[in-house]
Chains A and B, each alone.
Chain A
Amino acid sequence: MHPLLFLLSLFPTFVFAAGLPQTRGVHPSFLSQYKPKGTTWTCLDGTKTIPWSAVNDDYCDCIDGSDEPGTSACSGNTFYCENEGHVGASIPSSRVNDGLCEPACCDGSDEPAGVCENTCAAVGELYRQKQEAARKLQKTGSKIRSTYIAFAQKEKKRLETEIESSQMEIVRHEKEVARFRVLVERTEALSEEVLEHKKKSPLYTSLITHHNALKSLQREHKRHLEREKQLSDILDTLRHGYNPNYQDMAVLEAVRGWEYLAGLPHISEAEREEGGDEEDGATAQVDEVKEELEEGEWSVRQLEQQLDELLNVDHTSLLMEHDSYVDEPASVSPSHDIKAYLPDFLIPQYEFLRDTLVSGLQVLGIVKGSSTAASGWTKATKAREKLNDAEHGLNLAQKHLEDAREELGDLFDPTRYGAEGEWKKLHNTCLRKDTGDYVYEVCLFEDARQNPNHGGSSFSLGKFASWNPSLGVIEGSKEYYHTQVYSHGTRCWNGPERNVKLDLTCGTENALLTVTELEKCEYLFTGTTPALCLPLEDETESPKDEL
């Protein structure tokens, strides 16, 4: 038995209870209601009237428990200790007269007299010191914070200027687009019919089919690469994370198989050789393997780098160029040869028409004097390209404007950089904590990562999702900005996606203090930032006092 308990048990409780003043444990704001009416008193909920002597008699009479503010007789109550020399505190009534001196009640009033020492003088002093230290910290922090706010203001100006210039840019691009569109419409109207005909060429349709097939293959290839990456990530995690001690042959086989396939040394041997450089060595080894290619076959590098380019080729232009290639050796162009297929009586009309059309096109600059349709098409395509360029420019400018507007909107959005924009400065500010095995990193408003110190893969712990999403936390409140959530990080092999909850408090530095994995793949980071150091209330009123 606790010596204190034993001592305490020598005090008969009912004697203790009988002598209690009725206002013991009553919070100052309720004191006025603890007054007798004659010899009776009515429970605070009004449901029952009891003798005044039954208040604080260590027996629960009222349904709401209001008759026992100073004892533990009614559950669910609170007990108020005055803590003279310090600040008053309320504790649950379950802690009254339980044999334990409640730290919150430094005056010891939660236990019978003589049991607990009154430590309020010392506690109060310490409290005031701490308060003062906190105040100082907050003050220093708030100065830094005000530079963040200033930064946000500058950003605001910058963005506003940017918006203005973007708007002007847009006007310019719009004009350009309009001009080219007219031109393109004119040229294309004339050439469309012919183009349609040419597109029916078996060579062209086959080319398009090839193009589509290649594109599909590329899509599938990418999908497979991605899947392979995922699988190799899983297997890498397995390789590094599996417990060889379990002697599970299925796992061992999987690890060995993967190592063979990936050209890695066996993990236990690799670890024995110390350090994480085994990975690099292995990768180099893989690269050394020479590709054996048949003539004309593309290397992996070519596939990576040139395939997109190939797929982006404008086939319509090619079709036209193709015509010119085909035409060169054959001196007669198809249009000249038409005569051969025409009945004789039509030939004169044809020749007249042809001359009129060609000369007309020559005038328009679409068909060159040599009068090949191909060069006419090149012209049309070039006009289209110019239009595309102009439209692209317009889009860019619009996007730019949109981004700037969005950024400006975010700047003082309470769900983003705060009402004063004080968080803007910290966008992409990265805080790190080295725990020995890993370096944890959070880049504010971007993402969180776990980077191993001794080799192995780095994991995303999540992307910025929101400020404190807890139920009951009001958007824009102080509590709201004390927590950030980063979610949808790399999935744990046997669990959820990794997530981070970042709890921040006011501090003079942007720093990560602790990292804990409270449950699998759920991380709790704590840290400090000046952005949370609000200006001291009294200081804001007379900011010059300090200066």
Chain B
Amino acid sequence: MKVPLAALSASLLLLVSTPVAVAFKASDFKTCSQSGFCRRGRDFATRAKDNVNTWRSPYSVDAQSISLASGRALLTAAVNSALYPDIKFSLEVHVHEDGVVRVRMDEVGGLKKRYDEAAKWALAVEPSISAHTQWKVGASSARAIIEPKTKPGHEVVVEFKPLRVVLNKNGREQVVVNGRGLLHMEHYRNKTVEEPKVESPEEGAETQAQEVLKVNPNAWFEGDSEDAYWEESFGSWSDSKPKGPESLSLDIDFPHHGHVYGIPQHATSLDLPTTTGEDPFFSDPYRFYNADVFEYLASGTTSLYGSIPVMHAHSADSTVAIFNAVGSETWIDVAHPTAKSTGTHWISESGILDLFILPGPSPTEIFGQYSGLTGAAPLPAHWALGYHQCRWNYVSSDDVRGVQKRFDEEDMPFDVLWLDIEYSKDHQYMIWDKKNFPDPVEMTKDVAALGRKMVIIVDPHLKRADDYPVYKQAQELGVLVKQTNGNDDYEGWCWPGSSSWVDFFNPVSWDFWKSLFKTTKGSSWSWTESTEDIHIWNDMNEPSVFNGPEITMPKDLIHYGGWEHRDIHNINGMFLPRITSEGLIARGETPKRPFVLTRSFFAGSQRYGAMWTGDNLGTWEHMAVGIKMVLSNGIAGMSFAGSDVGGFFGNPQPDMLVRWYWVGAFSPFFRAHAHLDSKRREPYLLDEPHKSTVRNILRLRYSLLPVWYTAFRETSVTGLPLLRPHYVMFPQDETGFTIDDQFFVGNSGLLVKPITRPGVTEETIYLPEDNVYYDYFTYRIYRGSPKGRNVTVPADLHQLPLLVRGGSIIPTRDRPRRASSHMHRDPFTLRIALDGSLKARGEIYLDDGVTYSYREGHLTWRGLAIDKISRGSELRLLNTDLAAATPYSAAEGTAVTEFRPENPFQTGIASVRVERVIVLGLPGKPKRIVVEGGRELEWEYAPGAGAARKRGDSDGGDASVLTIKDPGLAVATDWAILITM
């Protein structure tokens, strides 16, 4: 949510002349040229470019120093800088079991220590070093063939002079580190105090001589001035920079990859536009400095609320990726020297070099490798995939009850009702404002009684009030972020006024914070006026500090371990949802899956919950870029993502709101939210026909919950994104590399292109393959081609371009219910979209949706497949047990080696049946349909086009539709249906 101050007041003062509030205030945030180390880094890159023929990296490996460890897969060496022979650096290059290469470099024995814990917080587990890979050390380089054998031809090379690290595939360079000589680790130094000049005639000649000597011999590399080495100011703020210059510059090039993706969060296209080189799209580098950006622009490189320093480099031949584990402010320049190559330049303010090179070579493998490092998003609570209704603010417990009542009166489903900051007394989170919420527990129970949940905001800024137990405890424990002197608690301004922040880098804070969420009285204060049906929204965790530089904390504040805020800024936001979700898991007797929404995030945040794209605007541009941002977050691991439906700021017109609901219904996280100043816009307030359209959209979301949940299972196990861009689905199809306005939902075969423009009645959608696609609603057929093809589909306000890829089986639960919790026993409909060879595949994953019992194998995971048998005269639809086939990959964290079909969950849903089977694209009317070894089934057939293209078959037309009535077969048992043609 939320509006920092500056723009509030700006719009206030403009009130007389312009009633419209001003937007993004660029002057609140730094450009590269206003950031000392970025300026230095870019100047440095310019010097290198201008002197490309003579430029030579001063860093080299001391070949004598090389040693190997951990079965020879870990190489360590000393690195020297020709500029400063006395300064020592160390280099480590690890090769992991899965082929990931980790490159670490640090200053050794320096005046101070560089921050080296970014990876510690980002990684889910300590990666295991390869048991097979062995370095071979030569005179000028060291080489290692990357195991396992699934990556043939992959080799990592460390060249000594100058230092370069290269990942090769079949002799072709995939990733080159320091290929352009932009590696520079500014070593710690003492500030040289300018000596007062003593003018004396005798010494005149000598002084002159000394001055000549003082010319910096390293100026060709470092520049001739100490630009912002020791202090820096921005606006009215100054940064004391007690450690002096310590930035890290690094060039990472992809000589054979013309597209790069990732480095969320930025409001831009998925295929990252250039920031340098010839005619760059943007002029400033992409920035990572988590910030509360008021009314951010729908296109730009400005840093937003979160940072995931992960970049994919893609070509039709291969995909590689890098994960640069750095937590300080970082700027990234992107250029395409040629259409088929990419150069990137990373400039960070502090920290060691800790780079992970992911060899791919396919997007799917990249996701495996990245989730191997930082973990995958765990299975969320099932209800969290339903529709969330939020607003700043539902103003009272009666208001809450009223909103729920109105939804029910209109028979519109929703699962979660949200409360923003105004529920709390003086913005002391967890303390109810009893004037408006006199009965919070009763209110929550009234919501929960209908099978729903509440999500309530808990922000990280604590009002400095002695009668606020959360603050008081934190203060007494000494776990608050400290001022520059390292002793006194930092005090900044946020919603409650004077506030302090918990320093979650201090492990002592963890138990304290977790215990707050206990709903029963214990030894210390806990939120007894809450229930286990309340889940948490963590906002403002960048952190947002209203009176701080760039609306956040001063960089010279001190965190646990003496680290400066500058070292950990981008990591900071990850802790609040982490510890909060751990608190929610621990609060009850039976651990239940928590739901925590965060605005700020870092690599690894996917382990703790969902994110949203922050305070977007109710404009078409923001609606469109929101989709791209969710895609980008997804490929960086943060799959459980969405944008505020309707736009946070503004009052969207009904047509825009309807389109936004379509977008939301196909976002992993589906929440409508609105600013305090906006009109109420709950869907029941819409006039017809919009109200009915939105009701249908909500019902569609709910009927597709089996698809979403099944997709999430895969994501939780493989790290694959929930929403899949074209380059992930079809890595060889060049046309798809730049597409980011249409996407696939998991591996379900659903292809969707939400409309994000006004006045549209039809839309082109790109089909990337020679396959048949079916309109989800009308069953009209669209045929692709081997080279890819655009087709036009209807896209009126009540319609959505939603296609089913031939070869897919879509399981749905079509009975509208008022919340997802009432759907657990509802029967399934199977929509079978045959491909040209009359095949199709699908999956259904189910568990209790609430607890962690799936980790003990209490689950159902079914495979559905239809194939031709008996030389094509019959089709057989099979329901098989995937969990029994591969129990270890049934769900994330499943610790069972053998699947028990009689597990309590599966026994509990024994009565859940398939009530309808719809087969699209049969070549003709079947003769007979039976359950294999059982009864004959009732069915209807509507003739139409078949899946296979016939000679002279005109494009399109309506598919033939076979509807099998209620086969009465349980979803969790093995069976087969035979269709005789």
Contacts and interface: CB of A to CB of B under 8 A. Distances in A.
Interface of A: 1-2, 5-6, 8-15, 57-59, 61, 72-73, 75, 92, 94-95, 97-100, 231, 234, 238, 242-251, 254, 436, 471, 493-495, 514, 516-520, 522
Nearest to B818: A94
B424 to A, nearest CB: 15
Interface stretch (B10-18, B606-614, B891-899): B10-18
A519 B12 contact: no
Given A5-B825, A92-B411, A246 B911 contact: no
B816 interface: yes
B494 A1 contact: no
B96 interface: no
Interface stretch (B168-176, B327-335, B675-683): B675-683
B793 interface: no
Contacts of B495: 245
Interface in B868-916: 908-913, 915-916
A14 B911 contact: yes
Nearest 3 Cβ contacts at the A-B interface: A246-B5, A12-B911, A247-B547
Interface of B: 4-6, 8-13, 15-16, 21, 236, 395-396, 398-399, 411, 435, 450-451, 493-498, 546-547, 676-680, 687, 699, 814-818, 821-822, 824-827, 848, 850, 908-913, 915-916, 965-966, 968
B908 A9 contact: yes
Given A9-B911, A13-B912, A494-B21, A246 B12 contact: no
Contact of B827 (A13, A231, A245): A13
Contacts of A247: 5, 493, 546-547
Given A9-B824, A98-B822, A247-B493, A72 B815 contact: yes
22 contacts: A9-B908, A13-B912, A13-B913, A58-B915, A59-B966, A95-B818, A97-B825, A99-B825, A100-B451, A234-B16, A238-B12, A245-B494, A245-B496, A246-B5, A246-B8, A246-B546, A248-B8, A248-B9, A494-B15, A494-B677, A518-B680, A519-B676
A94 B814 CA distance: 11
A2 B4 contact: no
A514 B399 CA distance: 12
Contact of B677 (A98, A238, A520): A520
B65 to A, nearest CB: 53
A242 B493 CA distance: 14
A518 B395 contact: yes
A231 B679 CA distance: 26
Contacts of B498: 245
A84 to B, nearest CB: 25
A279 B968 CA distance: 78
Contacts of B21: 494
A380 B910 CA distance: 109
Given A251-B9, A251-B12, 10 more contacts: A8-B825, A9-B911, A13-B911, A14-B913, A246-B493, A254-B9, A494-B15, A494-B21, A518-B399, A520-B677
B411 A94 contact: yes
Nearest to B910: A12
A13 B451 CA distance: 20
A250 B909 contact: no
B817 A5 contact: no
Nearest to B916: A59
B389 to A, nearest CB: 14
B822 A99 contact: yes
Most buried by B among A94, A242, A245, A522: A245
A14 B451 CA distance: 24
A50 B966 CA distance: 14
Contact of A495 (B236, B399, B677): B677
Nearest to B965: A59
Contacts of B679: 519, 522
Contacts of B11: 494
A6 B817 contact: no
A67 to B, nearest CB: 12
A248 B850 contact: no
Contacts of A5: 821, 824-825
Contacts of A59: 915-916, 965-966
A231 B16 CA distance: 9
A514 B396 CA distance: 12
A98 B452 CA distance: 13
Contacts of B12: 238, 251, 493-494
A516 B396 contact: yes
Nearest to A242: B9
A6 B395 contact: no
Contacts of A61: 965
Contacts of B546: 245-247
Most buried by A among B11, B498, B816: B816
Nearest to B908: A9
A39 to B, nearest CB: 15
A496 B694 CA distance: 27
A522 B493 CA distance: 29
Contacts of A248: 5-6, 8-9
Most buried by A among B6, B825, B910: B825
Given A100-B451, A248-B6, A234 B15 contact: yes
Given A94-B818, A99-B822, A493-B12, A245 B911 contact: no
Most buried by B among A11, A92, A436, A514: A92
A107 B916 CA distance: 31
A73 B815 contact: yes
Contacts of A12: 910-911
A14 B494 CA distance: 57
A2 B848 CA distance: 11
Nearest to A492: B677
Contact of B4 (A246, A251, A471, A517): A246
Contacts of B547: 246-247
Contacts of B827: 13, 58
B909 A9 contact: yes
Contacts of A13: 825, 827, 911-913
Nearest to B11: A494
A245 B965 CA distance: 65
Nearest to A251: B9
A238 B14 CA distance: 13
B399 A516 contact: yes
Contacts of A522: 679-680
A116 to B, nearest CB: 14
A92 B409 CA distance: 9
Most buried by B among A2, A246, A493: A246
Contacts of A254: 9, 13
Nearest to A71: B815
Contacts of A8: 825
Contacts of A516: 395-396, 398-399
Contacts of B916: 59
Contact of A100 (B450, B496, B678, B850): B450
B423 to A, nearest CB: 14
A94 B493 contact: no
Nearest to A15: B911
Contacts of A73: 815, 915
A243 B5 contact: yes
